[in-house]
Amino acid sequence: MTAASIDEAKRFEMDEPPTSFPATQPDGSPLKPITRVLLERRATISFASDEVPDDVLETILRFGAQAPSGYNLQPWRFIVVRDRQNRERLQRVAFNQAKIGEAPVVIIGVGLKESWRKEAERIFREGARRGAGRLEEVEQRVAQAVKALEQERTDVWVTRQTAIALTTMMLVAEAYGFDTVLMEGFDAEGVRREFGLPPDAEVVGLLAIGRMRGEEKPYPGRLPLHEVVFKERFGEPWTEAKRSPERRIQQTDLPPGER
């Protein structure tokens, strides 16, 4: 294989969906199902020093990278901060929040406002090679995507996409029994300076992952569904579905190890 063909192969190299990942939590407990993940996750106030195993962290990152994005452009980038001194540097530019220094892992989520343009053709072409579109339409689809996105504020757009990926990571961490908090309090310029971010980087959030220290936060309550969900148009009350007891699972019905 020539150097040119090797470069061409790398140009189109992309990850496949994850097929090998830990089947249980580190202590052997079953992974939490999605319903438990959504009901039990809380923003963690303080972290213990327990490490996140490498294979679990890798899984969190891999599934986060599988998150959906507009046009599949994946404008996100993530910096995994584990070194204590680096976490302390990050803490200083994040209003000195103690949990940043405590958590064994903090992921800086960044959206790139311009760099996606360079990746667009590669992404669309690879998608077409995999059956998602036609190769002869790649240039047209790229042009359509660029035109559409130029009509939006790119800082808002990359924030939306990156937040979806960070949320995915947060929920996968919960499935593996780890606690998280997604933070929006930081000095973006300070983060950019301390961690060498490129000029087009939009700092979206800081995701701390670890084991909670102290008591679990109580469920804080949510606004009633009829106040936040409407039918067909804003203000039209949502009608809740009729309940079918025989098809429903109550938390108290789960085995003790799965509650």
- The CATH number assigned to the domain holding 162 equals 3.40.109.10
Reported confidence tier of residue 13, pLDDT bands at 50, 70, 90: confident
Report yes or no on 250 lying in a domain: no
Structural domain includes residue 125:
yes
On whether the CB atoms of residues 64 and 168 are closer than 8 A, the answer is yes
User: What is residue 257's predicted lDDT score, i.e. its pLDDT?
Assistant: 45
Supply the pLDDT for residue 216. Answer: 87
Mean pLDDT of all residues belonging to the chain: 91
Residue 20 lies in a domain: no
Which two three-digit tokens encode residue 229? 């969900």
Per-residue pLDDT, averaged over 8-23, amounts to 80
The pLDDT of residue 258 is above 60:
no
Percent of the chain with pLDDT strictly greater than 90: 85
pLDDT attached to residue 259: 46
Question: Tens digits of per-residue pLDDT, 239-255?
Answer: 988 877 666 666 555 54
Residue 259 placed within a domain:
no
- Give the pLDDT of residue 93: 98
Q: What 8-state DSSP symbol labels residue 237?
A: B
* Of 208, 205, 217, 218, nearest in space to 49 by CA: 208
Whole-angstrom Cα distance, residue 101 to residue 89? 9
Within a domain: residue 13?
Answer: no
Tell whether 235 is covered by a domain: no
Is 68 within the bounds of a domain?
A: yes
Residue 80 forms beta bridges with which residues?
107
Of the candidate ranges 7-16, 76-85, 100-109, 181-190, the one whose mean pLDDT is the lowest: 7-16
Classify residue 90: in a domain, yes or no: yes
Whole-model pTM: value is 0.90
pLDDT attached to residue 242: 80
d(CA 73, CA 127): 11
How far is it, in rounded angstroms, from Cα 183 to Cα 186?
A: 8
Query: In the chain, which residue ranges form alpha helices assigned H by DSSP?
Result: 3-11, 34-40, 54-64, 84-92, 98-102, 116-129, 138-149, 154-175, 188-194, 225-228
pLDDT tens by residue, 161-200: 999 999 999 999 999 999 999 999 999 999 999 999 999 9
Lowest mean pLDDT among 5-14, 24-33, 87-96, 150-159: 5-14
CA atoms within 13 A on the CB side of 175: 20
Token pair, residue 4, equals: 């040119």
Higher pLDDT, 169 or 4: 169
Supply the range of the domain harboring residue 97: 30-222
Count of structural domains, the chain: 1
What is the SS3 assignment for 113?
A: coil
